[in-house]
Protein backbone atom coordinates (compact mmCIF):
# COMPACT_ATOMS: atom_id res chain seq x y z
CA UNK A 1 0.00 0.00 0.00
CA UNK A 2 2.84 2.40 0.84
CA UNK A 3 4.43 1.84 -2.57
CA UNK A 4 1.09 2.42 -4.34
CA UNK A 5 0.54 5.66 -2.44
CA UNK A 6 4.11 6.80 -3.11
CA UNK A 7 3.82 6.10 -6.84
CA UNK A 8 0.52 7.99 -7.22
CA UNK A 9 0.74 10.87 -4.73
CA UNK A 10 0.48 14.23 -6.46
CA UNK A 11 0.42 12.74 -9.96
CA UNK A 12 -2.26 13.96 -12.30
CA UNK A 13 -4.17 11.17 -14.00
CA UNK A 14 -2.90 8.52 -11.58
CA UNK A 15 -6.28 7.29 -10.35
CA UNK A 16 -7.15 5.22 -13.45
CA UNK A 17 -3.64 3.79 -13.44
CA UNK A 18 -3.95 2.94 -9.76
CA UNK A 19 -7.23 1.21 -10.54
CA UNK A 20 -5.56 -0.81 -13.30
CA UNK A 21 -2.67 -1.76 -10.99
CA UNK A 22 -5.08 -2.79 -8.23
CA UNK A 23 -7.03 -4.95 -10.66
CA UNK A 24 -3.81 -6.67 -11.72
CA UNK A 25 -2.70 -7.09 -8.08
CA UNK A 26 -6.08 -8.58 -7.17
CA UNK A 27 -5.83 -10.99 -10.09
CA UNK A 28 -2.33 -11.96 -8.96
CA UNK A 29 -3.53 -12.57 -5.40
CA UNK A 30 -6.33 -14.79 -6.74
CA UNK A 31 -3.63 -16.78 -8.54
CA UNK A 32 -1.57 -17.09 -5.35
CA UNK A 33 1.05 -14.38 -6.03
CA UNK A 34 1.81 -11.78 -3.36
CA UNK A 35 0.62 -8.27 -4.23
CA UNK A 36 4.11 -6.79 -4.03
CA UNK A 37 5.39 -9.40 -6.49
CA UNK A 38 2.64 -8.53 -8.98
CA UNK A 39 3.31 -4.79 -8.60
CA UNK A 40 7.02 -5.40 -9.23
CA UNK A 41 6.20 -7.44 -12.33
CA UNK A 42 4.00 -4.58 -13.55
CA UNK A 43 6.95 -2.20 -13.02
CA UNK A 44 4.82 -0.10 -10.71
CA UNK A 45 1.73 2.00 -11.21
CA UNK A 46 1.63 2.90 -14.88
CA UNK A 47 4.00 0.12 -15.81
CA UNK A 48 1.18 -1.87 -17.41
CA UNK A 49 0.46 0.89 -19.96
CA UNK A 50 4.16 1.41 -20.61
CA UNK A 51 4.51 -2.31 -21.28
CA UNK A 52 1.52 -2.23 -23.62
CA UNK A 53 2.93 0.76 -25.47
CA UNK A 54 6.28 -1.01 -25.88
CA UNK A 55 4.63 -4.23 -27.08
CA UNK A 56 2.63 -2.32 -29.70
CA UNK A 57 5.69 -0.35 -30.80
CA UNK A 58 7.76 -3.52 -31.14
CA UNK A 59 5.19 -5.02 -33.53
CA UNK A 60 5.19 -2.00 -35.87
CA UNK A 61 7.03 -1.93 -39.18
CA UNK A 62 10.08 0.38 -39.48
CA UNK A 63 7.97 3.04 -41.27
CA UNK A 64 5.22 2.75 -38.65
CA UNK A 65 7.81 3.14 -35.87
CA UNK A 66 8.85 6.46 -37.41
CA UNK A 67 5.22 7.58 -37.36
CA UNK A 68 4.78 6.46 -33.73
CA UNK A 69 7.93 8.29 -32.64
CA UNK A 70 6.84 11.50 -34.36
CA UNK A 71 3.35 11.26 -32.86
CA UNK A 72 4.53 10.74 -29.29
CA UNK A 73 7.15 13.48 -29.56
CA UNK A 74 4.48 15.85 -30.88
CA UNK A 75 2.17 14.99 -27.98
CA UNK A 76 4.90 14.99 -25.32
CA UNK A 77 7.29 17.83 -26.13
CA UNK A 78 10.25 18.30 -23.85
CA UNK A 79 9.61 21.28 -21.60
CA UNK A 80 12.15 23.90 -20.67
CA UNK A 81 12.47 22.38 -17.20
CA UNK A 82 12.78 18.85 -18.65
CA UNK A 83 9.30 17.96 -17.35
CA UNK A 84 7.06 16.43 -19.96
CA UNK A 85 3.53 17.76 -20.30
CA UNK A 86 1.40 15.94 -22.85
CA UNK A 87 -1.03 17.83 -25.00
CA UNK A 88 -3.47 17.14 -27.81
CA UNK A 89 -2.20 17.03 -31.39
CA UNK A 90 -4.04 17.23 -34.66
CA UNK A 91 -3.70 13.96 -36.55
CA UNK A 92 -3.13 15.80 -39.84
CA UNK A 93 -0.08 17.51 -38.28
CA UNK A 94 1.54 14.11 -37.71
CA UNK A 95 1.70 13.14 -41.38
CA UNK A 96 5.27 13.20 -42.70
CA UNK A 97 6.21 13.94 -46.29
CA UNK A 98 6.58 10.23 -47.17
CA UNK A 99 3.35 9.03 -45.50
CA UNK A 100 -0.38 9.18 -45.93
CA UNK A 101 -3.02 10.21 -43.44
CA UNK A 102 -4.32 6.62 -43.53
CA UNK A 103 -0.91 5.27 -42.44
CA UNK A 104 -0.76 7.67 -39.51
CA UNK A 105 -4.33 6.86 -38.48
CA UNK A 106 -3.52 3.13 -38.59
CA UNK A 107 -0.55 3.56 -36.24
CA UNK A 108 -2.52 5.74 -33.83
CA UNK A 109 -5.37 3.21 -33.74
CA UNK A 110 -2.89 0.54 -32.63
CA UNK A 111 -2.17 2.57 -29.49
CA UNK A 112 -5.80 3.64 -29.00
CA UNK A 113 -7.49 0.26 -29.39
CA UNK A 114 -9.44 -1.44 -26.61
CA UNK A 115 -6.50 -3.69 -25.73
CA UNK A 116 -4.18 -0.72 -25.20
CA UNK A 117 -5.97 2.57 -24.49
CA UNK A 118 -2.61 4.36 -24.44
CA UNK A 119 -3.91 7.10 -26.76
CA UNK A 120 -7.32 8.69 -27.08
CA UNK A 121 -8.62 9.70 -30.50
CA UNK A 122 -11.17 12.48 -30.81
CA UNK A 123 -12.22 15.63 -32.65
CA UNK A 124 -11.71 19.32 -31.93
CA UNK A 125 -12.64 22.21 -34.17
CA UNK A 126 -13.70 19.76 -36.87
CA UNK A 127 -10.32 18.01 -37.01
CA UNK A 128 -9.23 14.57 -35.83
CA UNK A 129 -7.09 14.75 -32.68
CA UNK A 130 -4.98 12.40 -30.59
CA UNK A 131 -3.74 12.67 -27.02
CA UNK A 132 -2.10 10.60 -24.31
CA UNK A 133 -4.82 8.90 -22.28
CA UNK A 134 -3.01 9.13 -18.92
CA UNK A 135 0.24 11.01 -18.44
CA UNK A 136 1.23 9.25 -15.22
CA UNK A 137 2.75 6.27 -17.10
CA UNK A 138 4.96 8.26 -19.46
CA UNK A 139 8.07 8.15 -17.31
CA UNK A 140 7.78 4.35 -17.17
CA UNK A 141 8.17 3.87 -20.95
CA UNK A 142 11.92 3.69 -21.54
CA UNK A 143 11.63 4.08 -25.33
CA UNK A 144 9.78 7.39 -24.94
CA UNK A 145 12.33 8.58 -22.37
CA UNK A 146 15.12 7.86 -24.85
CA UNK A 147 13.28 9.70 -27.63
CA UNK A 148 12.77 12.73 -25.42
CA UNK A 149 16.39 12.81 -24.31
CA UNK A 150 17.60 12.44 -27.88
CA UNK A 151 15.40 15.22 -29.21
CA UNK A 152 15.83 17.81 -26.45
CA UNK A 153 18.06 20.09 -28.53
CA UNK A 154 15.66 19.81 -31.48
CA UNK A 155 12.73 20.88 -29.30
CA UNK A 156 14.64 23.86 -27.94
CA UNK A 157 15.51 24.94 -31.50
CA UNK A 158 11.90 24.46 -32.62
CA UNK A 159 10.64 26.56 -29.72
CA UNK A 160 13.05 29.36 -30.64
CA UNK A 161 12.11 29.08 -34.32
CA UNK A 162 8.37 29.25 -33.55
CA UNK A 163 8.90 32.31 -31.34
CA UNK A 164 10.91 34.03 -34.09
CA UNK A 165 8.23 33.18 -36.69
CA UNK A 166 5.50 34.65 -34.47
CA UNK A 167 7.54 37.79 -33.93
CA UNK A 168 8.17 38.12 -37.66
CA UNK A 169 4.48 37.56 -38.46
CA UNK A 170 3.45 40.18 -35.90
CA UNK A 171 5.79 42.74 -37.45
CA UNK A 172 4.76 42.06 -41.08
At 87-105, the pLDDT tens digits run 889 999 999 889 999 999 9
pLDDT (0 to 100) of residue 149: 83
pLDDT (0 to 100) of residue 81: 44
Judge whether residue 59 has pLDDT over 70.
Answer: yes
What is the three-class DSSP state of 96? coil
Judge whether residue 4 has pLDDT over 70.
Answer: no
Residue 5 sits at φ, ψ, to 5 deg, of -65, -45
Beta bridge pairs of residue 128: 123
Q: State the pTM of this model.
A: 0.69
Would you give the DSSP letter of residue 60? Answer: S
Average pLDDT over residues 30-58: 77
Beta bridge pairs of residue 130: 89, 121
What are the start-end ranges of the E strands in 36-114?
89-90
Which helix (H) or strand (E) is 163 found in, with range?
helix 152-171
More confident residue, 40 or 170: 170
More confident residue, 76 or 1: 76
Whether the CB-CB separation of 69 and 80 falls below 8 Å is answered with no
Judge whether residue 171 has pLDDT over 60.
Answer: yes
* Cα first-last separation, the chain: 59
Of the candidate ranges 37-51, 64-78, 154-168, the one whose mean pLDDT is the lowest:
37-51
Query: For residues 78 and 155, what is the distance between their CA atoms, to the nearest angstrom?
Result: 7
Burial of 21 (0-12, 13-18, 19+ CB in 10 A): buried
Residue 123 Rama label (left phi>0; alpha psi -120 to 50; beta) = beta
Instruction: Provide the 10 A C-beta neighbour count for residue 121.
Output: 15
Average pLDDT over residues 117-143: 85
More confident residue, 44 or 92: 92
Amino acid sequence: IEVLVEQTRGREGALPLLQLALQQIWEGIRQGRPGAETLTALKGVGGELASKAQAIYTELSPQEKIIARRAFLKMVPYGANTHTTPHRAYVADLVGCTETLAQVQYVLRQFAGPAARVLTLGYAQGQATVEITHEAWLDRWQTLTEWLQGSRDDWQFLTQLEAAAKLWAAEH
